[in-house]
């Protein structure tokens, strides 16, 4: 496959990718879009020009919308052929290549568009599915000998998070305030968090509504997943530590979570499937699965202080996940909880075995005991005002690269 649109070999957005997003074009109108290299393609206009004809069930211009929800609700029967059709249209020798007028109308440079939230997030759940992360946290806060709680290897632990405060990359946010109490204090105090952290995560987006009482099996689960994004689960550790007993994360998490603007389909990730880590002890029947359900996705986190230089602080990989997405969705629905189009399910912090692969400052600095040294000579235990965190991710096999782009945001002073 070779595209007539030129792009660098290192581009995340090769002809093998075909991501989906939503953008404002020239500050004038909003539409769903895709991207090749550094060209953004307005899908609503492409549809109007009849380039997406012949796909059954695609009877309306669902791309003329503020979110991808209507498009992804059509399911894989439509989203898969649309992606295929776009690959054909962008290939050398296509009809579109010769249609100068269409290219002029539908193709935009990066600086002519602003990316928006790709979906309306109906519900948000955060899992805790990296065994390395759960073990690190257990060692720090509980018993180093029994770091994992007894349930951890039997079910994908998770909690229901806040959907309304999930924002797209580039939206900076104010340091949250809240109630905290250090171990040596007798009473709690109020103020800006002193322990602001990031969490390196990925999230998947669901493409169907199910009825209450219905369950999705591990076999069916991937058919209900449209695609994935990069996810930063910003966390205020001091607020979290004081509030979380006994019901789990609350205001220490709900102030903001950031996602990358491009949704990468499971079809684009097909080539990068790998086996999951072995699960021992054996899981219950409803969590058993066949085939390779994990993905080899290289992940990098960098920190850039205000006016300072960038430092790479973590390199990890999605393939380390102990629980896969099919198991997460099967578990989520086993009690009859219904799915909604646009639901977002985050992985939990993705840490690996190496210290350099730990996916949060909490782990990288071992709860502040070992501060990180940055390239500009300063140190960090937790994030400071003006710090920007960027997460990038990509898959690479032989010459084929499929990437996620970036999710970044900067911390503004407390309001």
Per-residue contact track with Mn ion, 308 to 327, x per CB under 5 A? Answer: --------------------
The footprint of Mn ion on residues 212-241 (CB under 5 A) is 233
Measure the CA–CA gap between 74 and 71, rounded to whole angstroms. Answer: 6
Query: First CA to last CA across the chain, in angstroms?
Result: 51
The footprint of Mn ion on residues 231-290 (CB under 5 A) is 233
* Least distance between Mn ion and beta carbon 242 (Å): 18
Pick the binder of Mn ion from 126, 132, 197, 238 (CB under 5 A).
Answer: 126
Label residue 364 exposed, middle or buried (CB < 10 Å: 0-12, 13-18, 19+).
buried
Which C-beta is closer to Mn ion: that of 19 or that of 359? 359
Q: Are 217 and 286 in contact (CB under 8 A)?
A: yes
Which C-beta is closer to Mn ion: that of 31 or that of 202? 202
β-bridge partners, 227: 205, 265
DSSP string of 274-337? Answer: EPPPPPSSPPPGGG---S--EE--EEEEEEE-TTS--EEEEEEEGGG-SS-HHHHHHHHHTT-P
Q: Residue 264 carries which DSSP code?
A: E
Q: Is 154 a catalytic residue?
A: no
Which C-beta is closer to Mn ion: that of 73 or that of 201? 201
- Report angle CA 408, 247, 165 to the nearest 5 degrees: 30
* Cβ partners under 8 Å of residue 317, min gap 6: 296, 297, 298, 299, 350, 352, 357
Measure the CA–CA gap between 288 and 100, rounded to whole angstroms. Answer: 52
* Least distance between Mn ion and beta carbon 341 (Å): 23
Which C-beta is closer to Mn ion: that of 73 or that of 126? 126
* Least distance between Mn ion and beta carbon 199 (Å): 4
* Least distance between Mn ion and beta carbon 128 (Å): 7
* Catalytic-role residue among 16, 120, 133, 154: 133
Residue reference for tokens 């509030």:
243
Label residue 236 exposed, middle or buried (CB < 10 Å: 0-12, 13-18, 19+).
buried
Measure the CA–CA gap between 219 and 81, rounded to whole angstroms. Answer: 22
Which C-beta is closer to Mn ion: that of 265 or that of 351? 351
Which spans in 142-249 are helix H? 218-221, 237-243
Distances (CA, A) of 412 to 165, 173, 196, 387, 415: 16, 6, 12, 8, 8
Give the count of alpha carbons within 13 A of 28, CB side only: 5
Measure the CA–CA gap between 180 and 398, rounded to whole angstroms. Answer: 50
Which C-beta is closer to Mn ion: that of 126 or that of 387? 126
**Residue 400's closest CA among 20, 21, 6, 1?**
1
* Least distance between Mn ion and beta carbon 30 (Å): 30
Count of residues engaged in binding Mn ion, rule: CB under 5 A: 3
* Least distance between Mn ion and beta carbon 282 (Å): 27
The footprint of Mn ion on residues 180-219 (CB under 5 A) is 199
* Least distance between Mn ion and beta carbon 349 (Å): 5
Which C-beta is closer to Mn ion: that of 108 or that of 128? 128
Which C-beta is closer to Mn ion: that of 82 or that of 407? 407
* Least distance between Mn ion and beta carbon 161 (Å): 8
| Closest residue to Mn ion: CB criterion | 233
Q: Does 132 bind Mn ion (CB under 5 A)?
A: no
- Which residues belong to the active site? 133
Residues that bind Mn ion in the complex, under the rule CB under 5 A: 126, 199, 233
């Amino acid at each position: 496959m070779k595209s007539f649109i030129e792009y660098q070999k290192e581009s995340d957005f090769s002809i093998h990718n075909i991501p989906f997003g939503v953008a404002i074009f020239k500050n004038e109108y909003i539409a769903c879009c895709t991207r090749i290299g550094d060209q953004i393609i307005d899908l609503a206009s492409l549809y109007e020009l009849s380039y997406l004809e012949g796909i059954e069930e695609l009877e309306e211009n669902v791309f003329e919308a503020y979110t991808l929800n209507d498009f992804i609700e059509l399911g894989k029967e439509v989203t898969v052929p649309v992606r295929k059709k776009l690959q054909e249209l962008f290939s050398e020798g296509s009809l579109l290549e010769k249609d100068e007028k269409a290219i002029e109308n539908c193709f935009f440079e990066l600086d002519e568009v602003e990316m928006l939230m790709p979906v309306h997030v109906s519900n948000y759940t955060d899992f805790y599915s990296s065994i390395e992360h759960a073990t690190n946290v257990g060692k720090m806060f509980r018993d180093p000998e029994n770091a994992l709680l007894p349930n951890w290897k039997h079910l994908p632990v998770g909690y229901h998070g806040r959907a309304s405060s999930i924002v797209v990359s580039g939206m900076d946010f104010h340091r949250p305030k809240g109630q905290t109490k250090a171990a040596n204090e007798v009473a709690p105090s109020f103020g800006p968090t002193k322990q602001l952290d990031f969490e390196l995560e990925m999230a998947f987006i669901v493409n169907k509504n199910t009825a209450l009482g219905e369950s999705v099996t591990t076999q069916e689960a991937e058919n209900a997943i449209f695609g994935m994004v990069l996810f930063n689960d910003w966390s205020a550790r001091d607020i979290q530590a004081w509030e979380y007993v006994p019901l789990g994360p609350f205001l220490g998490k709900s102030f903001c979570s950031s996602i990358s603007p491009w949704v990468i389909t499971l079809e684009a990730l097909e080539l990068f499937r790998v086996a999951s880590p072995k699960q021992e002890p054996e899981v219950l029947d409803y969590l058993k699965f066949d085939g390779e359900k994990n993905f080899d996705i290289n992940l990098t986190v960098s920190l850039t202080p205000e006016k300072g230089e960038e430092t790479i602080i973590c390199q990890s990989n999605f393939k380390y996940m102990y629980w896969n997405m099919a198991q997460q969705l099967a578990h989520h629905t086993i009690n009859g909880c219904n799915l909604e189009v646009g639901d977002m399910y985050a992985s939990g912090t993705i840490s690996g075995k190496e210290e350099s692969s730990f996916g949060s400052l909490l782990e990288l600095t071992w709860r502040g005991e070992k501060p990180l040294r940055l390239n500009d000579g300063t140190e960090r235990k937790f994030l400071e005002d003006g710090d920007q965190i960027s997460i990038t991710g990509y898959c690479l096999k032989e010459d084929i690269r499929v990437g996620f782009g970036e999710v970044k945001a900067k911390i503004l002073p407390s309001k």
